[in-house]
Structure 1
């Protein structure tokens, strides 16, 4: 079988325009507003936008650098993009995030996809409904690309979960998140690497802030109850928050316009379900549009406190904060910038931290006045077990609708060869007790003994040790470097690296457990890149609960003045990231006047012979009398392949040496690393994009000489809807059909498929 490569009459990339005089913009670090403008102007379609992001994912995440940020792609991604493009073509008003591709953490429910939360125990758990956050994003027109990597149950940071972990796109020698708390590592890595427009993570200790800092992106951790948590796997319900990850504050505002809404059925959303302490409604906190917070002078005249312990100054606690000199150097530049914005910066103590951690050296990790005796232990067992059991019951999957169904050894196993590290003994979850808990649990989580006293104590601790202290110091906001240093990438297997990764200032984001436990809102903004490690670090803005809009104003003003974000150097711009901005406008009124084309897949196969992989896809093209095929462009794993045309038929044949990518998926690694992504783009000369394709039957052939695993499937994941394929609108007066084909090895089931019933 002949291997066909690029011919001289085929452009280097379908996406890159050969006219060097044409006006263009790049998808790399494009803002949501820029993407929306490109979609509205007809320069690009959502389908095309998805295809371009998929090429970056193919080149850098699932191959090449193997960043492993996105282990599972959404099988319906092109259906969602098609629906968005169809709305535009029909002349319907664009919704707030119309056609914008995004990602979600693996702990967030998407109907029909697995929601393993990175845990072997839940690899087969399929979401029966969307999480509240996914629901509102779907209604706003956003297009889900897939799911991001995380450690099992978000219980940690850079421990390898079922699908491995994400790696740094800045420096492969360092972690992309804090080792002890950075579970949204895939979300932040994917966002900074421009694999999506934005992503959703979550945080219980520093799981949203930490990876944001290590990846030079924005993270917002809201006050309790402001962003909906229904359908997100809980960890510690008293601490959990949803965390949007974006590359700019402006992007964050666009996302918050959609996310910051009241969930009328907040089942499993602890703070929105509880009636023990009154909380403000998000409707009374948020502005009508978050763009109203764009005030470049917001820091003028403000008094800013920076805790001495985080900038190498006085630290009264025995466990001193470890701060790298290059972090301190960035802080000095940042202080100058804040003062240039018109603020006064003063060094302060930090009683919220020193009070909370006063007895930590004695093994008492939480020191909060009036907190019930033993409450920390309850939060690490009964509270978690109750919330997990409720989550499973609400999902209602037979055989996996209770925590009692689960083998405790499979919830958080360490990957082979991994060190346990140096976690606090009192901070450990008790897996065996937890799976027994449902047998005698009360009807409601709010019936757990002493929960009312505990919630009131935590609320009072924030008010007394933080908010009243801010008033006494005359502070408008508190800022500090997001972390003192970053652990090495081998912290999971090397003892010396592990010990350093567990140091104070390195293991968590600064502020440690108390920021989330007491409910302090923060915004994390890029502060620069350390000169000795080439790793980014952020500045944290922290303020009073439910004064989130003030923090957002301050963070925007700082970002607007500094622009300290740097694009990760390991994932440079591709030719397909370039979008031409002239001569592409489409008239939706024309689209209804032309018979729409179709592409039929007639055969697909992949097999291995003599250490060579053979991939073949065949199909037919049907065009109206007004339309002619202009070009068929195909990519395999991001590399351009030349197809063969024969009248209305076409075939794609490619060969390449067998590699680890063609092996069977094994736990602790991303399933994407053993997938082959094929993108086929058909152009006609009329610019109309709709049509029907029948799903081709699976074909797998094995040579007698083949000793490889023969359980290979070819999945057509793009444009699939009820066994048919739909061609979507493309902007450049061309018909476009993008068929996203996933070929992967499997035995009984492969987690990359996203669900067991697909």
Structure 2
């Protein structure tokens, strides 16, 4: 019998398949267009940071159109063909036109900001006007919201080019306890670009693989519990899960109003800070939105090489001990922190993972309530969770070839958010992870952050047995609703490992600064090699 902890982890890191489960559906939208040999030669996007692309556009040696075309070409070369990563589920039909319009603005002297002309990939549970928003499910393959999500509108206003949408674990890993991360019935199985038979983790698996493989400059993922941190860690990325409410949830297919958030996924801390600067804003429609004023408008101002000096950091060793390579890399990371002038002390959390049972209860209740509201509001083809369950049963061969919909069924059987069971679980989960958990050790130890290895190395993708989840450290911040950031710290047999910093609400700037100092000292990220299987 699976424990609730395992069920929660598996549910939020899961998978499913389309027609041909080895490839998924063909992409729609913009296709690679012919570009001059000169443009292609000088627009090498492999490991090109958004900050460097911005600087080249400022100098006039690169245009948004050239950059966008180069990413479209690379998607065709290694996502649709080559190793066939199946990370990008749909391309924007207006990407090149938008890029050309932004080039014209730049020539006219109008620059919207640091993201002007930068192509961004968006997870396929976020509304983009004119594109499908499906949560990876064939049930919503014809669902085209009329309006952009609040955060997408923010990106457009900042000058970003919406390049396309990325695959994800179907329904963000909240359909079954037996799911396989990175699989959806609409998009097929996303591969890990480091070792192709390894899992990309979920549910922002497509974004993790795509950004690691340089299919886009930067990406937007979403997290309820681990779905930014996990794919970022196993794909060698920087991933930032913001304070709940700092980034609007309006226009995102929900799981939990208590824990859901969108956030940046990038190859560098600088790029993550640039993206967060555009995403963070007060949305009056989001009940968790921060109060007006007081939030940073430019998170890159926190990026200083000496940001770790004088910091007091607590090591959560309860989140270690599950793999020797992870422990070795973590100890080396702690040595780096000390060398950078940080004080490092061991801490222990009295309530460690006691939030698991109430967390699952909260998510089941909130999923039904939030999803029903989203489906009605967005004019989706199916108006309720019950209707989706019936559709899945009628199309089980294509949408449920590997695992079922136990979590859907459990959620559908629950009552409204006024139920005493829900109210008690919500209070318990946030208290055990927050006030008596992460915040207790931060405040009790007078700490600036809590640190730990992000999670285990990527496991073999297995559609029969599902995910093989070993260990993590990010859940406490997810349930507490507080920010966390993972940064590459090393590898295990070529599989990336991440190191996480967790802090108090709205401490994103300080966490970015510490992560930047750590990144600059370690330079641990390595580009993926697309190995077919583990060679050593």
TM-score range (shorter-chain normalised) is 0.7 to 0.9
What's the CA shift for 1:480?
Answer: 0.7
2:196 aligned residue: 172
Q: Residue 372 of structure 2 is aligned with which of 389, 393, 400?
A: 389
Structure of higher CA gyration radius: 1
For 2:303, the equivalent position in structure 1 comes to 294
Are 2:258 and 1:234 aligned?
A: no
Q: Which residue of 2 aligns with 1:510?
A: 473
Contact 1:131 1:230 in 2 (8 A): yes
Question: Taking structure 1 as reference, are residues 415 and 482 closer, same or farther at Cα in structure 2, changes over 3 Å only?
Answer: farther
SS in 2 for 1:53: helix
- Residues 535 and 355 from structure 1, CA distance in 2 versus in 1: closer, same or farther, beyond 3 angstroms? same
The equivalent residue for 1:467 is 439
Distance 1:453 1:136, change over 3 A: same
Report what 1:483 is aligned to: 455
* More strand as a share of residues: 1
| 1:216–1:526 contact (8 Å) kept in structure 2 | yes
Whole-Å separation in 2 of the counterparts to 1:511 and 1:206 = 6
Whether contact under 8 Å (1:223, 1:520) holds in the other structure is yes
**2:481 counterpart (509, 519, 523):** 519
RMSD (Å) for aligned C-alpha atoms: 2.9
Given that 2:442 and 2:448 are in contact with CA atoms closer than 8 Å, whether structure 1 keeps it comes out as yes
Contact kept? 1:339, 1:345, Cα under 8 Å: yes
Match of 1:68 in 2: 86
- Rate the CA distance shift 1:341–1:86 in 2: closer, same or farther, 3 A: same
CA distance in 2, matches of 1:190, 1:414: 28
Q: Deviations over 1:654-703 (max 9, x none)?
A: xxxxxxxxxxxxxxxxxxxxxxxxxxxxxxxxxxxxxxxxxxxxxxxxxx
> 1:443-592, aligned counterparts within 5 Å?
447=418, 454-461=425-432, 462-489=434-461, 491-493=462-464, 495=465, 498=466, 501-505=467-471, 509-512=472-475, 514-530=476-492, 532=493, 534-570=494-530
Q: Conserved in 1, the CA contact under 8 Å of 2:438 and 2:480?
A: no
- From 237, 252, 267, give the equivalent of 1:247: 267
What's 2:288 paired with? 271
Q: Secondary structure of 2:329's partner?
A: helix
Which residue of structure 1 lines up, in the alignment, with residue 278 of structure 2?
258
Alpha-carbon contact 2:314-2:346 (below 8 Å) kept: yes
CA distance 1:529–1:235, shift in 2 (3 Å): same
CA distance in structure 1 between the aligned counterparts of 2:81 and 2:38, rounded to whole angstroms = 21
Distance (Å, rounded) in 2 between the aligned partners of 1:117 and 1:502: 23
Q: Are 1:111 and 2:129 an aligned pair?
A: yes
Residue 306 (1) aligns with residue 343 (2): no
2:498 aligned counterpart, secondary structure:
strand
* Distance in 1, Cα, partners of 2:151 & 2:291: 17
Higher deviation after alignment, 412-421 or 560-569: 412-421
Instruction: Give the match for residue 721 of structure 1.
Output: none
Task: Determine the C-alpha separation between the residues in 1 that align with 2:40 and 2:140.
Answer: 42
How many residue pairs end up in the alignment? Answer: 490
1:405 is displaced (CA, Å) by 4.2
Shift of 1:94: 4.0
Q: SS where residue 126 of structure 2 aligns? A: coil
Shift of 1:556: 1.5
Q: Distance in 1 between matches of 2:386 and 2:349?
A: 43
Structure 1 residue corresponding to 2:293, chosen from 274, 280, 283:
283
- Paired residue secondary structure (1:429): helix
Task: Tell me the distance in 2 between the aligned counterparts of 1:133 and 1:103.
Answer: 13
Alignment CA distance shift 1:433-1:453 (3 Å): closer
Q: Is the 8 A contact 1:418 1:492 kept in 2?
A: no
1:64 positional shift: 0.7
Q: CA, structure 1 residues 200+414, in 2 after alignment: closer, same or farther (shift >3 Å)?
A: farther
Three-state SS of the structure 1 residue aligned to 2:439 is helix
Give the C-alpha shift of residue 91 in structure 1.
Answer: 2.8
How many Å separate the matches in 2 of 1:139 and 1:330?
A: 40
Cα offset for 1:136?
0.6
Alignment check: 8 A CA contact 1:125 1:400 kept:
no
In structure 2, list runs of 5 or more residues that go unmatched.
1-34, 174-178, 532-536
- The DSSP-based 3-state class of the residue aligned with 2:122 is strand
CA contact (8 A) 1:261 1:283 kept: no
Distance 1:27 1:159 in 2: 24
Decide whether aligned partners of structure 1 residues 111 and 306 sit closer, same or farther in structure 2, where only a CA change above 3 A counts. Answer: same
Matches within 5 A, 1:594-633: none
Partner residue of 1:42? Answer: 60
Report what 2:184 is aligned to: 161
Q: 1:25 to 1:344 in 2, by over 3 A?
A: farther
Structure 1 position 142, deviation (Å): 0.6
Alignment deviations for residues 343-362 of structure 1 (CA, whole Å, 9 cap, x no partner):
122233232425435xxxxx
Displacement after TM superposition at 1:81 (Å): 0.9
Residues 261-297 of structure 1 show CA distances to partners (whole Å, capped at 9, x for unaligned) of 1123x2xx4534xxxxxxx43732x324212201222
- Alpha-carbon distance between aligned partners in 1 of 2:452 and 2:77, rounded to the nearest angstrom: 36
- Shift of the alpha carbon at 1:451? 5.6
Unpaired runs of at least 5, structure 1? 1-10, 18-23, 273-279, 313-321, 358-364, 367-374, 422-426, 572-758
